[in-house]
Structure 1
Amino acid sequence: MKYERLFSKGRIGKLELKNRIVMPAMGTNFAASTGEASDEIIRYYEERAKGGCGLIITEITRIDDETGVGISNQLSVTSGKHIPRLVKLADAIHRHDSKIFIQLHHPGRQTYGRLLNGKQIVAPSPIACKVIGEMPRELTTAECEALVKKFVTGAVIAKTAGIDGVEIHAAHGYLINQFISPYTNKRTDKYGGNFFNRMRFVTEIIQGIRFACGKDFPISVRISANEFIEGGLTLEDSVKIARYLESLGIDAINVSCGTYESGHTIIEPSYIPEGWKKDLAKTIKANVKIPVIAVNNIKHPEVAEALLEEGVSDFVGIGRGHLADPAWANKAKYGQEKLLRKCIGCLNCFKVLNSGRPVECTVNPLLGREAFLGDDKLVKDGNGRTVAVIGGGPGGMQAAYVLAKRGFKVVLFEKEASLGGTMKMADKAHHKQLITELIETQTAELEALGVEIRLNTEANVEMVKELNPYGVIVAVGGTPIIPNIPGIDSPNVCTAEDVLAGKVELKGKNIAVIGGGSTGLETAELLARDNRVTVIEMMNDVGTNLYPSVRALLLKRLNEAGVEIITDHYLESVKVGKIGLRVTSTAFEVEREVDAVVLALGVKPRREIVSHFEEAFDKVTCVGDVVKPGLIGDAIKEANDKAFVF
C-alpha cells in the first residue's frame, strides 16, 4: 500500500519536514544523571531518525533543577553545560534528514518529593494529585515569574545547540496544564481566576521564547484537549485555548488528552482501539489555521494514513510504535509492513519507567541499548555453521533471528503446527490481536533471513545430532504448575492453557479459576461469556504484574462480566462438586461449590528436556521459561542477549 499523505512533505512554521510522521515525547531515563544527552539517548533518537521519522520531539526535558524533576535521569536544558551534548544529538538527527524539537517540561504536582531531594513538590494551587498522593506547595507569584524565565532559558539553550524548535508541554496534567485548568488552578493573583489569567503563565513563556529566539524559531504547544476528569478541561474549553494560543503566534498545536488521574487516556492499553480520540484533534484542527499534530493510539500505517485523509490532523504522532520498532516509518514507506514490530499495548514500557529504571519494550529488546547491541555491533562470525533452536516461542524465534543475522545456518524445531509458543494462548484473551500480529512478524523475519523451520517436529537428541551443530539453543518453555493436592487429577480439573488452546470447552458451568495473575484474569474474562466464574488468589491482590491502568480496566470488565474475585485463599483439595480452600492469613478451611476448576498457577521450567541436550552437546544455551518463568518480553530480551554472544 502506498501512503501518499503519510509521506508527503509538511511544514511547521518555516521548517520543512520530509513526511507527516512525528515521534512525540516519551520519558526514557536514558539521559546522563547530569541531565546531559548520553551516548545511549543520542543513539536511541538517531535510530528513529534513521528509521525515517520526520520530526522527533524529545522526552520531557527539564527546565528547573529545584522543583522540576520528572524522572531521575532526565534530559535537561537548565545550564549551558548541556549544550555540547545537545549539539551531538542535533547532528545525529540531522544526518538522516530528520528534524528535532526539545520538549520543555515541568511536572508541577505530578512528581514525587523523593525526586526533589525530599523537598515538597509545587503547583499553582495546593491540590494533591490523586495518583501521586503528595500535597504540593503553592508557588508564589515571584516563583511563577522565575519559572517563566527558566522555560525561556531552556528554549535559548536548545536553539544555541542547533535544535530545530521547541514544544511547550501544556498537557497531561503537568505544571502549565495545571495553570490552565480550573480543576487545579484556584489562585487569586495574576496567574489565576479568569481565562486570561489562567493562560498568563503559558502566554509569558511563549512571548519570552519569541523575543529571545526570534519569529522563525518554531514553537509547538502540546495540550490535553479533554482532561477526562470532573471539573477539568473539556473539548469546548480547549477549542478556545487553541485559538488563543494561535493568536499568540505559535506554529503548531500537538493534541493529546488526559492527566495522571485519567492516565489510561494518555497511554492506552491494548483494550482501547486505534483512533478512539480522533474527534479531539479533528475539532481543534477545524478551529485553527496552524498545523495540528495528534496522537491517536496508532499501531498500523494504514490507520495513520486514514486519519490524515479524514483531516483529523496534519501530522500523526507515533509514540510507542517507535519504541517497538525504530524503523516504523521506513517499513511503511517501503512496503515492509509484515516486518513491522507493532506495539502490543502491554504498557510494560511505562511500568519499567515508573520503577525508576530506563524504559524497556516487550517486543524490542534493543530499546535504549542500540549503542552496544545494535546491528552494527553484531559479530557476524556464523560462517554458515549450523545452530539448532529447539522451540518456536517468542524466545526461540528471537534467538533464531539474531543468530541468522550473525551468519549462522539456523534450524528451528517446533513441535506444534505453527510458531508462537505460549503467545498462541495469550492472544486468545480479549483485545490481544496485536500478539497474533507479533507472531506473524517474528515468523516473517525468520522467513526473510532464510531460517529453516521444521514444524510438527518435537526435536530429540538423535535428530539434532544429525545436523552436527555448532551449538544448541533450548527454548522449549515451561510446563503448567499442577499442585500436589487431593483430587487434582479429577476430570473436572484443567489448566488455563487447555482453555486458551481450545482443548477444553466449558459452557454453563460454575468455574473456579485458581490464580489471579494476568493469565488467570484473562482466562476468567474469556470464560465469563458462558459461565459463572470465580477467581481464587492466595495473595491479597490480583493482577499485580500488570501496569495499573491495564489492571484497572481489566478488573472493571471482570466486574461488569460478573466475575467474583476472592483473595487470601488457596486451593487445598478438589472434591465432587466442590473445592476445599484455606485462608492464607488464618489457615481456616472453607469449601465452595464448583463444577470445574481451571488452574492458572504459572509454569515451571522443563529441566528434564534441558538435561538431555546438555549431556549430548558441548555448547547448549537455554532461554525463556525453560530457565525461569517470565513474560513475553523477558523471553525475547534474554534470547536476544544470549544469541548476541553465542
Structure 2
Amino acid sequence: MKYTKLFEKGKIGKLELKNRIVMPAMGTGFASSTGEASDEIIRYYADRAKGGCGLIITEICRIDEETGIGTSNQLCATDSKHIPRLVRLAEAVHAYDTKIFLQLHHPGNETMGRLLHGKQIVAPSPVMCRIIGEMPRELTTEEVTAMAQKFVKGAVIAKTAGFDGVEVHAAHGYLVNQFLSPHTNKRTDKYGGDFFNRMRFITEIIVGISFACGPDFPVCVRIDGSEFIEDGLDEKECIHIARYLESLGIACLNVSCGTYESGATIIEPSCFAEGWKKHLAKNIKANVKIPVIAVNTIKHPDFAEALLEEGVSDFVGVARGQLADAEWANKAKRGDDVLIRKCIGCMNCFLVANQGRPIECTVNPILGRELTHGDDKLVKDGNGRTVAVVGGGPGGMQAALVLAKRGFKTVLFEKSDRLGGTIKFGSVPPHKELLAELIDTQEAELKKWGVDVRLNTQGTVEECRKIGACGVFLAQGGNPIVPRIPGVEKAVLAEQVLSGEVKLSGKNIAVIGGGVTGLETAEYLSPNNQVTVVEMMNAVGTTLYPSVLHYLMERLNKNKVEILTGHAIKAVGDGEITLGVMASAAEVTRKADVVVLALGVRSNRALYEEMEASFDKVVLVGDTEKPGTIVNAMHSANDKAFVF
C-alpha cells in the first residue's frame, strides 16, 4: 500500500520535515549519569532517524538540577557542559535528514524525594499526586519566575547545540501542566487563580524562549486534550489553552492526554484500541491554525494514514511503535507492513523503567543495545555452515533470524503445523491479537532471510545429522506443570482450551493458577461460563504492569469471575475440587464441572543429553533453558545466536 499522506512533506514554522511521522518523547534511561548524551542514546536516536522518522522529540530533558530530576540517567540541558554531547546527538540525527527537538521538562509533584537527594518535591501548590504519595512544597513566587528562566536557558542550550527546535512539556501532570490545571494550581499570587494567571508561567517560558532564541526557532508545546481527572482540565478548557498558546506565537502543538493519576491514558496497554482518543486532537486542530502533532496508540501505518486523511492531526506521533521497530517508517514507505514488528502493548518497556533500569522491548531485543547488538555488529562468519533450530516459538524464530543474518544456513524444525509456539494460544484471549501479528512478522522475516522452515517435523538427532548441522539450538519451550494430585487426569490444560481442542460452554470452571495465562484463560472462558480463578499466593497477575492488570481485573469483575487467592488445588473429583487453605492448612470443597490447569511450565530438555552427545555445540534458549516470558525468550535467543 502506498501511504501518500504519511510521506508527504510538512512544515512546522519555517522548518520543513520530510514526512509526517514524529517520534514523541519517551524516557529511556540511556543517557549518562551526568545527564549528557551518551554514545548509547545517540545511536538509539540515530537508528530511528535512519529508520525514516521525520521528526524526533527527545525524551524528557532536565532543566533544573535541584528539584527537576524526573529520572536517573536523564538527558540534561542545565549547563554549557551538556552542549558538546548534544551537538553529537543533533549531528547524528541530521545525517539522515531528520529534524530533532529537545523536550524541556520539570516533573513538579510527579517525582520522588529520593531522586532529589532527599529534598522535598515541589509544585505550584501543596497538592499531592496520589500515585507518588509525597506532599510537595509550594514554590515561592520568586522561585516560579526563576524556574521559567531555567526553561529558557534549556532552549538556548538546545539552539546552541544545533537542535531544530524545542518542546515545552506542558502535559501529563508535570510542572507546567500543574500550573495550567485547577486541580493542582491553588495559588493566590500572580501565578494562580483565573485562566490568565494560570497561563502566566508558560507564557513567561514561551516569550522568554522567543526573545532569547529568535522568532524563527520553533517552540512546540505538548499539551493534554483532557486530564481525565475530576476538577482537572477537560476538553473544552484544553481547547481554550491551545488557542491561547497559538496567540503567543508557538510553532505547533503536540496533543496527548492524562496525568499520572489517569496514567493508562498516557501509555495505553493492549486493551486500548488504536485511535481511541483521536477526538481530542481533532477538536483542538479544528480550533487552531498551527500544525498539530498527536499520539493515538498507533501500531499500523494504514491507521496512521487514515488519521491524516481524516484530519485528526497534521503529524502522527508514533512512539512505542518505533521502540519496537526502528525501521517503522522505512518499512511503511516500502510497503513492507508485515515486516514491521508492532508494539504489542505489553508495557514491559515501562515495567523495567519503573524499576530504575533502562527500557527494553519484548519484541525488539536490540533496543538500547544498538551499539553492541545492532545488525552492523553481527559477525558474519557463518560461511554457509548449517545450524539446526528445534522449536518455532518466538525464541526459536529469533535465533534462526540472527543466525541467518550471520551467514549460517539455518534449518528450523517445528513439530506442529504452524510457527508461534505457545504464543499461538496467547494470542487467542481478548485484546491479544497483536501477538498473532508478531508471529506473522517473524515468519515473514524468516522467509526474507532464507531460513529453511520445516513444519510437522520433529527436530530429532537424526534429522539434525541429516542436514549436517554444526550446532543445534534447542527452543522447544516447556511442558505444562501438572500437579501430582488425586483426579488430575480429569483436568484439562489452558493450552487445550485456547487452541480450541476443548470447547466449554455453560460450565462451572475452576482455573488453577492466577498468573498471566490463568487470568487470560479465565477472561476467554467467562462470557459463556461461570469461572473461578484459584491462586495459592495472596495476589494474582504479579508479573503484569499495573495498568494491564487493572483493566484485566476490571473485565474479569464485569464478567463475574471469582478470584480466590490463598488456596491450592489438592484433588479433582466428579463435579467438585478440594482446595487447601494456605493460611490454616484446612481443606475446603467447591463445585467445579471442569478444572483448567494454568500453572506455568517446566523446561523441556528431553533432547538435551542426546543432542549434547551428538553435537559439539548445543544451545538452550527460552523456556527450554529457563521458564520465563516472551521477552526472556527473545533476549536469550538473540544474544546466544549473536555469539554462537
Determine if the TM-score, normalized by the shorter chain, exceeds 0.5: yes
The one-letter code matched in structure 1 to 2:168 is I
Q: 2:569 aligns with which of 546, 568, 571?
A: 571
Secondary structure of the residue that 1:473 maps to in structure 2? strand
Is it true that 1:501 corresponds to 2:492 in the alignment?
Answer: no
CA distance in 1, matches of 2:636, 2:618: 14
Does residue 404 of structure 2 align to residue 404 of structure 1? yes
Alignment map for 1:140-539 (pairs within 5 Å): 140-490=140-490, 493-539=491-537
- 2:10 matched to 1:10? yes
- CA distance, structure 2, for counterparts of residue 251 and residue 203 of structure 1: 14
CA distance, structure 2, for counterparts of residue 307 and residue 432 of structure 1: 23
Shift of 1:383: 0.4
| Secondary structure at the counterpart of residue 489 of structure 1 | helix
**2:519 and 2:533 in contact (8 A); partners too:** yes
* 1:559 maps to which of 547, 552, 557: 557
Runs of 4+ off more than 3 Å: none
| Cα deviation digits, residues 145-203 of structure 1 (max 9, x gap) | 11111111111111000011000000001111111000111111111110011111111
**For residues 98 and 321 of structure 2, what CA distance do their matches in structure 1 show?**
17
CA distance in 1 between counterparts of 2:20 and 2:118 reads: 43
Task: Specify the alignment match of 1:609 in structure 2.
Answer: 607
Which of 542, 545, 554 is equivalent to 1:544?
542
Which moves more between the two structures, 71-80 or 605-614? 605-614
Query: Structure 1: which amino acid aligns with 2:519?
Result: L
SS of residue in 2 equivalent to 1:157? helix
Q: Residue 597 of structure 1 aligns with which residue?
A: 595
Deviations 1:197-235 (A, max 9, x none): 111111100011111110010000000110111111111
Per-residue CA deviations over 1:354-374 (Å, capped at 9, x if unaligned) read: 110000000000001001111
Question: Aligned to 2:73, what secondary structure does the other structure show?
Answer: coil
Please tell me whether residue 103 in structure 1 is matched to residue 103 in structure 2. yes
> What is the rounded CA distance, in whole Å, between the counterparts of 2:109 and 2:587 in structure 1?
47
User: Which secondary structure does the structure 2 equivalent of 1:526 belong to?
Assistant: helix
Structure 1 distance, partners of 2:195, 2:205, is: 16
- Give structure 2 stretches of 5+ with no counterpart: none
SS in 1 for 2:489: coil
2:569 match: secondary structure: strand
Letter paired with 1:321:
G
Could you say which residue in structure 2 is the equivalent of 1:83?
83
Which runs of 5 or more structure 1 residues have no equivalent in the other structure?
A: none
For 2:396, the aligned partner's letter is G
Structure 1 CA distance, aligned partners of 2:33 and 2:620?
35
The 2-side partners of 1:446 and 1:407 are apart by: 13
Q: Distance in 2 between matches of 1:154 and 1:229?
A: 30
Q: How far apart, CA to CA, are the structure 1 residues paired with 2:461 and 2:299?
A: 42
Amino acid at match of 1:414: E
Amino acid at match of 2:105: H
- Give SS of 1:454's match: strand
Give the deviation of 1:396 after TM superposition: 0.3
Of residues 25-34 and 270-279 in structure 1, the stretch that sits farther from structure 2 once superposed is 270-279
For 1:283 and 1:529, locate their aligned partners in 2 and report how far apart those are by CA, in whole Å: 36
Q: Corresponding residue for 2:71?
A: 71
Q: Distance in 2 between matches of 1:361 and 1:517?
A: 21
Q: Which residue of 2 aligns with 1:47?
A: 47
Question: 2:382, 2:407 within 8 Å by CA — same for their partners in 1?
Answer: yes
TM-score by length of 2: 0.99
Aligned residue for 2:642?
Answer: 644
Q: Which amino acid aligns with 1:622?
A: L
Cα deviation per residue 1:572-620 (whole Å; 9 max; x = unaligned)? 1112221111122222221111111111110010122222211221100
Cα shift readout 1:431-485 (whole Å, capped 9, x = no counterpart): 1111111000000000011110000011111111111211110000001011111
8 Å CA contact 2:470–2:615 kept in 1: the answer is no
With normalisation by structure 1, the TM-score equals: 0.99
Instruction: State whether structure 2 residue 632 is matched by structure 1 residue 634.
Output: yes
Whole-angstrom CA distance in 2 between matches of 1:76 and 1:584: 50
How many residue pairs get matched?
Answer: 644
Q: Tell me the secondary structure at the aligned position of residue 302 of structure 1.
A: helix
Distance 1:128 1:629 in 2: 41
CA distance in 1 between counterparts of 2:105 and 2:621 reads 40
Q: Which moved more, 1:111-120 or 1:49-58?
A: 111-120
Residues 229-258 of structure 1: CA distance to partner in whole angstroms, max 9, x if unpaired?
Answer: 111111100110000000000000000001
| Whole-Å separation in 1 of the counterparts to 2:128 and 2:170 | 18
Shift of 1:568: 1.1
SS of 1:245's partner is helix
Larger mean CA deviation between 574-583 and 242-251 belongs to 574-583
* 1:485-533 deviation per Cα after TM superposition (whole angstroms, max 9, x unaligned): 122122xx11111111111111111111111111100000001011000
What residue identity is the alignment partner of 2:395?
A: G
Does 537-546 or 580-589 show the bigger shift? 580-589
Amino acid at match of 1:582: G
What letter corresponds to residue 519 of structure 1 in structure 2? T
**3-state SS of paired residue (2:488):** coil
The Cα of 1:377 is off from its aligned counterpart by: 0.6
The aligned amino acid for 1:329 is A
Letter in 2 for 1:189: D
TM superposition shift of 1:25: 0.1
Distance in 1 (alpha carbons) for counterparts of 2:423 and 2:464: 25
Q: What value does the CA root-mean-square deviation take over the aligned residues?
A: 0.7
Q: Distance in 2 between matches of 1:634 and 1:481?
A: 19
- Alpha-carbon distance in structure 1 between the residues aligned to 2:470 and 2:77: 51
Amino acid at match of 1:537: E
Aligned to 1:122: 122
- State the shift of 1:264 in Å: 1.0
Matches within 5 A, 1:22-41: 22-41=22-41
**Whole-angstrom CA distance in 1 between matches of 2:259 and 2:537:** 31
Query: 2:589 and 2:138 mapped to 1: Cα distance?
Result: 55
Judge which range, 322-331 or 110-119, deviates more.
110-119
Relative to structure 1, the CA distance from residue 586 to residue 119 in structure 2 (aligned partners, 3 Å threshold; closer, same or farther) is farther
